[in-house]
A and B are shown apart, each in its own frame.
Chain A
Amino acid sequence: MSKVHTEKEPLFHITKREDLPIWSKAGIRIAAVALAILLCMILSYILIGINPLKMLGSMISGSFGTKRRIWKFLKDLSVLLCISLAVTPAFRMKFWNIGAEGQALIGALASVACIIGLGGKIPNALLLIIMFVSSVVIGAIWGVIPALCKALWNTNETLFTLMMNYIATFIVSYFLMIWTPSGSSTLGMLNFGYLPKLGHEYLLLILVVAVLTIGLYIYLNYSKHGYEISVVGESQKTALYIGINVKKVIIRTMVISGALCGLAGFLIVSALDHSVTTATIGGQGFTAIMVSWLGKFNPIYMALTSFLITFLDQGASQISTDFNIDSAFPSVIVGIIIFFIIGCEFFIYYKINFRHKAVKEAK
């Protein structure tokens, strides 16, 4: 009897785990990252012949080697975290806003347009306010169009927001051609609309993002709006049953998400770039999706995951300068490590039960 049973039982079956204690969750994740870095070191030793230890050293020095690098690290972390925070409210209600790239870019464009139109004609403080408002408003508009269609006709938001990214990119290149009569399409650094500097030039940006992180954490976890978002994300039917206006929540949340993306665009223009190109956001709108998902849509964890991603990114580019390898190498390394991190989530939430174990239990 039991023999027949063993033959029919599959090799293993998968069950959901009980909630793991926090230290073993962290352990699995750290192990995955360590394993991934080890694999990358072996791969680059075989492919290019880099000494693995030197590689690790160069990775760390890339982020923390000098005072300048630490500031740059914090700056990149803040920008990435800001965009990641922006997409999080939407993700919490399972609205897949993968249009952060476009929403932030169009926000940056709005700020630049204000500078070009009004720069030098009005006081700087007033200009900054106008820039801020227009960036936030246009970011919100860019985000709310897909949300309206989702609320009214249940249009697929993933595909819609994805398309909106490219429309934003082409609109930016259109305006760049208009603004540069020479046809070079590169706008130099503009002279107006600079955010004031507090001590270090990046300090204000970092502080703004820190405040935003805490603010969003409170909004999502301790406010009525945050609760409604979670319920809509869990089950739209439950939300309807307890009297939440689902359409309103979807639209309101995407206004917030888009507006925060627009804010990121404003910060990039007024505090860092003072200009705009089609590569101003540089794919961070997509990286933000990974940061947010890996951070379990929790702003505090997301600060950690964006720390990790920024560290990997800067470390890998330091490797490519130190060892004079092709500049595409970093994205290969970061890609491999991200695959490991994505994959390890499985072992946190699921358990693999092998056959012989199950049979013993049956006996």
Chain B
Amino acid sequence: MNSTYIAALELAAGAVLVSAVMTLWRRSVRSIVSMLSLQGMALSVVAIVLALHEHEGALFVTGCLVFVVKGLVVPGLLRRVSRLDPRSRESRPLVNVPASLVFAAVLIVLSYVVSSRITGLSPSDATHLVPVGIATVLVGYFMLVTRRRAVSKIVGLILVDNGIALVTFLLTSGVPLIVELGSSLDVLLVVVVLQFLMVSMRHHSDTDRLTEMKGLRD
């Protein structure tokens, strides 16, 4: 029982990090969004596995909520946004794809080195996986900084949020339900606002590259 718990936890946490790296790897916005959906589902599996192991009803509810919001609703909304431009690709990121993958590898090693101090405070099966969450946060920031398209930037933001959620699940067995509810709705709101913003950006300037919005217009 204990070994299956550890195996399931490791596999789900690994899937969160792998899907974060995959969002840097893929170019088409559609597959980036489906990687994000995969990550949301893996995150919810982490929460549900922890909840089943520690018999915490609230965490189980949180896990189901994460599955619905981050696994289905947010990616669904992003898909609708990207459907405005069906051939949308992250064509020219500020750092090219091979370099950003190597940089992601550096970030992953960095997060492992940094967080060994934190995990040393209270070693357990769950806290060992904290580096995975921190690495997801760093990869999310990297994506936020280096990608040009609005959709990619919002994906980076959600990666950061997912990483933070993973760390809280692993370290504290989840924050109170109301806080998780608040942060999930926050992300949802950001995505909805982005959707309006993108529609109006496209209406005004026919692009969603944020770098091209330098001047003001009447």
Are these two chains actual partners, yes or no?
no
Interface residues of A (CB under 8 A from B): none
